[in-house]
Structure 1
Amino acid sequence: MSNQIPVNSLSRHVEPLHAELSAIAESIIRSGYYVLGPNVKAFEQEFASYCGAAHCVSVANGTDALELSLRALGITTGDNVAVVANAAMYGTAAVLACGATPIFIDTNTNDGLMSVTALQAALQAGAAPKAIIVTHLYGLLADIEEITSLCHSRGIMVLEDCAQAHGATRNGKRAGLFGDIASFSFYPTKNLGALGDGGAIVSNNAQLAETATRLRQYGWSAKYTNSLRGGRNSRLDELQAAMLRHMLPLLDGWNTRRRAIANRYALGIRNPRITVSAEVGEDHVAHLYVVRSDERDALRVHLQAEGVQTEIHYPICDHHQPCHFGAFDNVHLPNTEADALSVLTLPCFPELTDTEADQVIAACNRF
């Protein structure tokens, strides 16, 4: 169906900015600065200020941000890192890239976020992670204060995965300020997305930021002097930095619109076969709007026929991925595994109209 309501529309998102972004691209082409130039430095300062952090280190993508954050924390071969298993392998891939072992922690039943109870049980059972990745999934802050307190009391370092939570705020603190270090993605579909790949690491710890800065450029301590293992070429380019600088002041407005759509769904979908998320506040930036249904596949077919595009975030748990065949057969995460069979993502992006949102609601209620 050609007139389907999309889950997301980057063309609709970028179109109002077309002239400004085109002018920015032209200025970068003429500037002669293409990598680690003045726009990169300025964006790092501006994004650090936006987050309320002392330091921001831009990198090539969000996955590198996760891995280099772990490496900055000293994670290496033989270490254990606690992580959830419901976010498409991003955190798990970063753990494995460091030569470390993931310790999978189950999620809550209603939001896909790391369960504090499950984490406590794992620690009491003898799990000894050196660090933990706390993913703020779908745009909602995890129980990050409680998790950070629990971990810091045991000497466990906390990495916040903020790839889906740019701007989420709780008690005056933005995503990325609760743990020791935080990673962000600027993939085009993110709440703050570039026109290509990009990522960032933020921290209030000057030593961690300095280590990350060196790791993103081969581990250099000076040009052509490789002093840190695990370094690579992971640099944000000038073009993406300049685009992000232009869009950063618009982020809070976009997040406000996302929340309005999410709350429209929360109040409007009234079908006992569909479990909706609760109304959202400042600690949720509605990166994705996810419902749950025991008849997920039938619901998806129904919505497709009604002209509503959907997605599944995410259909395969990390410990069930084919690349791990046999490695995690003893891992059982009942809530995580149940979510993989029931979650469904509805259209939610700033340019979605109220009329379109109401059509989604009506289609859900007719299921």
Structure 2
Amino acid sequence: MSETNVDTESESDHARRIDTEPTEPPTSETAATEELEGSVSIAEPDVSDAVVERVQSVIDGGGLADGPEVRAFEDEFATYCTADHAVATSNGTTALHAALEAFGVGEGDAVITSPFSFVASANAIRLAGATPVFADIDPETYTLDPDAVEAVLKRRSDIVGLLPVHLYGLAADMPALNALADDDDLFVLEDACQAHGARIDGERVGSIGDAACFSFYPTKNMTTGEGGIITTDSKDVAQRAQQFVNHGRGQSGTGGYEHLDLGHNFRMTSIAGAIGSGQLERLPDFNEARRETAAYYNEHLAELPLETPTEPRGYRHVYHQYTVQTDSPAERDALAETLEAYDVDSAIYYDTPIHQQPAYESLSTAAASFPKAERAAETVLSLPVHPGLSDVERRTVVKAVTDHYTSQ
């Protein structure tokens, strides 16, 4: 098992309204008296009645497009990340694309990113006209290995930026990556789509690089249905991103037909903005519930022959996924089958590294080998960790995993 240092500090004081109280891990007494759950889902979005009322208010008002609810959500999310600016978008991929455009990325440029991630991170680089260049991961954290990034920088002169992915809810090694970027005058764009509220030495992702992007897909730590956002301290980056997501219009507002540059319609809807404000209020509690479940799993899976998630000292993991690693691909598949037999959902994020995807066969970087990323893709498995899990459901997950190994 990997060494962990799970920080159980509560963020509840930061919440403006608390809808749910996180549950405590079960005691031995309750474990002995309660039965196991029949079915445990991998994700379970939680939208409160208060959010439904906000959405109904938007619908009743008739202003469904990019309106005041979006501006309010942008301000609230920027404040949460301690960033100066935020630009809401239609999803996490469009946030990444717009941010890269705002940095001026284009043809002839290259951006280093991880081969072990959802494909959107690399796709956004290509959509901006540049080339994604991959560097291998740290096998303990599954995030970009700064040494691998440095090796790429030494052999290529076309790199203009770094796009580290904060995978599974754990931030990448931003201090080391920022130092490399400073040495080569590169931008750093955080892909924080899975890491809402994650921290390094008390600083939240979203304010550590030059800009950051978040996704609000339904399975994320908070949701707007579909949606994304860019955070940055740079007024210029924020203005260029805002212009790009709104058909290249000027900054006078969403109306008018003066288009200063090429752009897309990547705008967030007012309905999504209203949902986002309500979800952001609950995010500290959502994250605390995820961390409590992770601590419960860490304790009860500690003696089993599989790797549980690492949380480096000074880091705060928010467990978008609780991902274990087995000794072999066959063992991973066998564990997934056992979980299925117990009616416990599991998932593989991600079973094919990006450089091995069919859509990347034509890229010169696709021929490279990234053994740590490839090994992770063959052996990782994510267990249910969403904040809606009950004590009984958590015990069901632990029993399924434990029975798999003790029955062999």
Tell me if both proteins adopt one fold, taking TM over 0.5 as the criterion: yes
| Percent identity over paired residues | 34
Please tell me whether the aligned partners of residues 116 and 142 of structure 2 are also in contact (alpha carbons under 8 angstroms). yes
Kindly state the Cα deviation for residue 132 of structure 1 after the two structures are TM-superposed. Answer: 1.0
Matched, 1:290 2:327: no
1:234 to 266, 272, 275: 266
Q: C-alpha deviations, 1:52-87, integer Å up to 9, x for none?
A: 011011111100000110010010111101010111
The within-5 A match list for 1:201-212 is: 201-212=230-241
Structure 2 Cα separation of the partners of residues 342 and 298 of structure 1: 11
* Structure 1 letter corresponding to 2:372: N
* Structure 1 letter corresponding to 2:91: N
Aligned to 2:38: 3
Kindly state the Cα deviation for residue 279 of structure 1 after the two structures are TM-superposed. Answer: 5.7
Kindly state the Cα deviation for residue 100 of structure 1 after the two structures are TM-superposed. Answer: 0.7
TM-score, with normalisation over the residues of structure 2? 0.85
Aligned to 1:125: 155
Matched, 1:357 2:394: yes
Q: What SS does the aligned partner of 2:53 have?
A: helix
Structure 2 Cα separation of the partners of residues 187 and 275 of structure 1: 28
Aligned to 2:138: 108
The within-5 A match list for 1:1-367 is: 3-10=38-45, 13-14=46-47, 17=48, 19-126=49-156, 128-194=158-224, 196-221=225-250, 223-229=256-262, 231-270=263-302, 272-278=304-310, 283-293=316-326, 294=328, 295-327=331-363, 328-367=365-404
Question: For residues 329 and 200 of structure 1, do their structure 2 counterparts lie closer, same or farther at Cα, with a shift above 3 Å needed?
Answer: closer
Structure 1 Cα separation of the partners of residues 133 and 51 of structure 2: 43
Kindly state the Cα deviation for residue 193 of structure 1 after the two structures are TM-superposed. Answer: 0.7
TM-score, with normalisation over the residues of structure 1? 0.94
Kindly state the Cα deviation for residue 366 of structure 1 after the two structures are TM-superposed. Answer: 1.6
Please tell me whether the aligned partners of residues 267 and 279 of structure 1 are also in contact (alpha carbons under 8 angstroms). no
Structure 2 Cα separation of the partners of residues 170 and 115 of structure 1: 16
Kindly state the Cα deviation for residue 326 of structure 1 after the two structures are TM-superposed. Answer: 4.8
Moved more, 351-360 or 161-170: 351-360
In structure 1, the gaps of 5 or more residues are none
Q: C-alpha deviations, 1:173-213, integer Å up to 9, x for none?
A: 1111111111111111111111x211101100000000001
Kindly state the Cα deviation for residue 225 of structure 1 after the two structures are TM-superposed. Answer: 2.3
In structure 2, the gaps of 5 or more residues are 1-36
Q: What SS does the aligned partner of 2:382 have?
A: strand
Question: For residues 119 and 242 of structure 1, do their structure 2 counterparts lie closer, same or farther at Cα, with a shift above 3 Å needed?
Answer: same
* Structure 2 letter corresponding to 1:315: D
Q: What SS does the aligned partner of 1:364 have?
A: helix
Question: For residues 279 and 234 of structure 1, do their structure 2 counterparts lie closer, same or farther at Cα, with a shift above 3 Å needed?
Answer: closer
Moved more, 199-208 or 127-136: 127-136
* Structure 2 letter corresponding to 1:199: G
Please tell me whether the aligned partners of residues 33 and 238 of structure 1 are also in contact (alpha carbons under 8 angstroms). yes
Structure 1 Cα separation of the partners of residues 397 and 112 of structure 2: 37
Structure 2 Cα separation of the partners of residues 228 and 266 of structure 1: 51
Please tell me whether the aligned partners of residues 271 and 364 of structure 1 are also in contact (alpha carbons under 8 angstroms). no
Structure 1 Cα separation of the partners of residues 310 and 297 of structure 2: 9
Q: C-alpha deviations, 1:87-123, integer Å up to 9, x for none?
A: 1211110011011111101001122100011111111
Question: For residues 168 and 329 of structure 1, do their structure 2 counterparts lie closer, same or farther at Cα, with a shift above 3 Å needed?
Answer: closer
Structure 2 Cα separation of the partners of residues 172 and 215 of structure 1: 32
CA RMSD across the alignment? 1.6
Question: For residues 279 and 98 of structure 1, do their structure 2 counterparts lie closer, same or farther at Cα, with a shift above 3 Å needed?
Answer: closer
* Moved >4 Å (runs of 4+): 279-282
Structure 1 Cα separation of the partners of residues 63 and 315 of structure 2: 37
Q: C-alpha deviations, 1:10-55, integer Å up to 9, x for none?
A: 2xx23xx1x3233222211121222221111111111111110110
- Aligned length, in residue pairs: 359
Q: What SS does the aligned partner of 1:6 have?
A: coil
